[in-house]
Structure 1
């Protein structure tokens, strides 16, 4: 069985759910019926259902049909599921706000630690990502977003705390999806570059309070940009 076909089956089923065909708490049709509809085997449909169950979208019941879970039970850490969840959310800014809150809780302390632990090699790597951001500033494509994410990952690495790194890791896939969307806006790219420069300056000065402050201000700016310039688009 092809993993790709199972992924496609999960994606098609998720689309049917978000389109309202199978609302929360509704039972799915029998697996054979779904298999015929999607043009795949029953086993492929079953694997797709298991994948969605793993992300909280469905509850698999032994000997009974699977049930669609309420949206608030869906995983916020899978990019496909997150987009689907955003389409069904009554509050377009709820998920982006919560994402920034989670980042703020982790990355402000990460910046504080990185200011005391960053090596010359760490700072050089961060400077390289900043250069990449500068060179791609006029490009609405993925290069700027990739450099942006590499900068934050570099700060996390420089903090040298395995638990904070582990807490940050699940957010990276979601951040990748969101950043690709927000980086299309030239003003948002300018804001990100500005704050990354100030964060790096604080890290080079090995000033933990200043580094934490600059990261916090960066998070505030990020939330403002999402609310004022993007809205919930990155989650739809």
Structure 2
């Protein structure tokens, strides 16, 4: 059913539109009814369709979609969600940095430092950059000692992997990230909540600017793909 997931994400099947009856889907895919029902239930659980007893499934409203679902991201164009992810990060991460400044242990701050130093060594590897950049921001989130906030932050890292790999192709992007991370670490180490929040905000503004340059620098984006 991944093709239906792709068609839903691409807008080929609009919210409210019905999917074919189970019998048609069975014939289309050459599988039994139980397999089709299981696939429909999975799409229902992820918020992409609504399955009602005794009637055909219909595409759910967009606000029900679990757009961070890895299966969905694998079959759709994630660029549509880059600006939305960035907006979410700008709301969530500066307060996380401020809270980390108040609560981080010395060990947690040392972990941020170590990850950032490793980040300096992967300037030509977009995938490694993405993993280490996520590890840095995860370390900041965990330093808040708030399991709910950590879970909220972790929920967006799947799409964050894509945006980081894309933006790392912009010349100087990784070096700028490392520099801003150093500012965040310094503020957290100084127990400066206002400074940590401000540094994270400015870092994310830098990230937003680089994401905006992805489509205007095709050669760089191609090298990082």
- TM-score category of the 2 structures, normalised to the smaller one: 0.7 to 0.9
Under a length normalisation based on structure 2, what TM-score does the superposition of the two structures give? Answer: 0.83
Distance in 2, matches of 1:229 and 1:39, equals 41
The equivalent residue for 2:119 is 133
Query: Alpha carbons of 1:18 and 1:124: their partners in 2 closer, same or farther (altered >3 Å)?
Result: closer
Distance in 2, matches of 1:86 and 1:156, equals 28
The total of aligned residue pairs comes to 217
Distance in 1, matches of 2:87 and 2:10, equals 29
The equivalent residue for 1:3 is none
Under a length normalisation based on structure 1, what TM-score does the superposition of the two structures give? Answer: 0.80
1:97 has 2:88 as partner: no
Does the 8 Å CA contact 1:27/1:67 hold for their aligned counterparts? yes
Query: Alpha carbons of 1:184 and 1:79: their partners in 2 closer, same or farther (altered >3 Å)?
Result: farther
The equivalent residue for 2:192 is 207
Query: Alpha carbons of 1:139 and 1:56: their partners in 2 closer, same or farther (altered >3 Å)?
Result: same
Does the 8 Å CA contact 2:163/2:211 hold for their aligned counterparts? no
The equivalent residue for 1:176 is 161
RMSD (CA atoms): 2.5
- CA drift at 1:18: 4.3
3-state SS of paired residue (2:213): helix
Query: Alpha carbons of 1:223 and 1:15: their partners in 2 closer, same or farther (altered >3 Å)?
Result: same
In structure 2, stretches of 5+ residues that fail to align are none
Does the 8 Å CA contact 1:74/1:85 hold for their aligned counterparts? no
Q: Which runs of 4+ in 1 moved over 6 A?
A: none
1:69 has 2:60 as partner: yes
